[in-house]
């Protein structure tokens, strides 16, 4: 596409519009060192639909390129690369969602998360009434271990299966090759320190500070990611202790589940609150506008799972344990069930994009 010929944008689909903007970026190359997206762009001259999908999922929406660009509105090229890649990225998640009937439901209505949470709470309250054991300690005095497993095992396995099916479709679309350990290591290293949110030079991105650099979003993301991983490790350690070591809950303050879960819950809660604050200050037009409400609802639900877990622990030994247990398990259940259709999938797709990028990087 010639740079002096700008088509009628109303006639272009999302992917075609993204391709138009990427081709202009490839000719300009001013932002070449900003993040992994721009070196990936410069490796090609023509971009298939799969290439655009890969670039979109490689983008972390730090927005530094937008504020550095000389071709944004009111220039006739009207570039908004973070915004158009965010829309392509959202469409790719919906396109590969399984079952397809649920695709886009979370993004179309910001209230969808509230409905999911209400449904989760209703299920937990029903379970509390029907499955309350005759005896038990701690949480198991209100809901038996067997009851928890019966509810949460399917709710954990199904989202993983749905996400795996979606990732398989994505991997085929972007031309992914056989996975190598070196590529996986490179992708995990990039995800672990979120270097692509460092603005290329490590000085931060421009998500909430317009043309000023900030690492706030990078740190908030790391708090959420590591908080979530610590909470998952806490649950996993409790499972091993229960089944392999015959050590039954409740566990003491200095047990492994608590040593992992308490700091994990704190990081998750604070990180999610921080992300909400940043998102409310950021320019909506530089992201996926249609999914703004769904993205915010996802972060709020993520923070709610951490906060209610901490409150549940604080309520130990009081009459508040039963209602707090229902609220916490309802939030967790809603989080699991909506995971394949919320922004939770961005972590899986972004890791896949980083692996694919490692495969083609010289």
Residues 21-55 have pLDDT tens digits of 999 999 999 988 788 899 999 998 899 999 999 99
For 205, phi and psi rounded to 5 degrees? -115, -170
pLDDT tier, 9 (very low <50, low <70, confident <90, very high otherwise)? very low
Token pair recorded at residue 61? 């929406």
Domain boundaries defined on the chain? 9-95, 99-360
Residues 220-256 have pLDDT tens digits of 999 999 999 999 999 999 889 988 888 877 788 889 9
pLDDT at 122: 67
Above pLDDT 70, what percent of the chain? 87
Distance CA 125, CA 119 (A): 10
Mean of per-residue pLDDT scores for the chain: 86
Distance CA 117, CA 198 (A): 34
For 69, phi and psi rounded to 5 degrees? -80, 140
Instruction: Please check the confidence at residue 188 and state whether its pLDDT lies above 80.
Output: yes
Contacts of 178 (CB under 8 A, 6+ apart): none
pLDDT at 130: 59
CATH architecture for residues 99-360: Up-down Bundle (1.20)
Residues 281-329 have pLDDT tens digits of 899 999 999 888 889 888 998 999 999 999 988 988 888 888 888 888 8
CA distances from 49 to 15, 16, 79, 273 (A): 7, 8, 19, 36
Token pair recorded at residue 273? 């609150």
Q: What is the largest CA-CA distance in the chain?
A: 77
Instruction: Please check the confidence at residue 272 and state whether its pLDDT lies above 50.
Output: yes
Q: How far, rounded to the nearest angstrom, does the alpha carbon of residue 192 sit from its chain's CA centroid? A: 14
pLDDT at 256: 93
């Amino acid at each position: 596409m010639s740079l002096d010929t700008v088509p009628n944008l109303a006639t272009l689909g999302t992917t075609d519009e993204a391709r138009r903007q990427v081709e202009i970026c490839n000719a300009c190359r001013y932002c070449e060192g900003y993040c992994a997206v721009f070196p990936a762009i410069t490796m090609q001259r023509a971009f298939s639909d799969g290439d655009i999908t890969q670039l979109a999922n490689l983008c972390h929406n730090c927005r530094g390129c937008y504020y550095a660009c000389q071709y944004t509105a009111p220039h006739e090229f009207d570039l908004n690369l973070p915004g158009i890649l965010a829309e392509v990225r959202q469409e790719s998640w919906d396109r590969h969602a399984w079952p397809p009937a649920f695709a886009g439901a979370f993004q179309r209505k910001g209230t969808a998360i509230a409905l999911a949470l209400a449904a989760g709470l209703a299920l937990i309250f029903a379970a509390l009434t029907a499955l309350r054991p005759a005896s038990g300690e701690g949480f198991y005095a209100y809901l038996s271990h067997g009851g928890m497993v019966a509810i949460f095992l399917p709710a954990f396995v199904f989202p993983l299966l749905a996400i795996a099916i979606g990732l398989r479709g994505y991997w085929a679309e972007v031309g992914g090759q056989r996975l190598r350990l070196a590529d996986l290591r490179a992708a995990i290293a990039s995800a672990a320190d979120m270097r692509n949110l460092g603005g290329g030079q490590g000085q931060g991105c421009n998500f909430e500070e317009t043309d000023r650099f900030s690492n706030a979003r990078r740190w908030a993301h790391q708090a959420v990611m590591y908080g979530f991983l610590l909470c998952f490790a806490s649950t996993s350690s409790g499972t091993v202790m229960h089944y392999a070591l015959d050590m039954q809950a409740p566990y003491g303050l200095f047990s492994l589940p608590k040593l992992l879960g308490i700091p994990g819950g704190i990081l998750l809660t604070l990180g999610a609150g921080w992300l909400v604050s940043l998102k409310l200050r950021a320019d909506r037009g530089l992201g996926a506008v249609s999914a703004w409400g769904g993205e915010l609802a996802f972060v709020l639900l993520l923070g709610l799972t951490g906060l209610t877990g901490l409150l549940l622990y604080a309520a130990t030994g009081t009459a508040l344990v039963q209602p707090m247990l229902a609220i916490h398990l309802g939030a967790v259940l809603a989080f699991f069930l909506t995971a394949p259709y919320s922004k939770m999938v961005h972590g899986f797709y972004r890791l896949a994009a980083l692996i694919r990028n490692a495969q083609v990087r010289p």
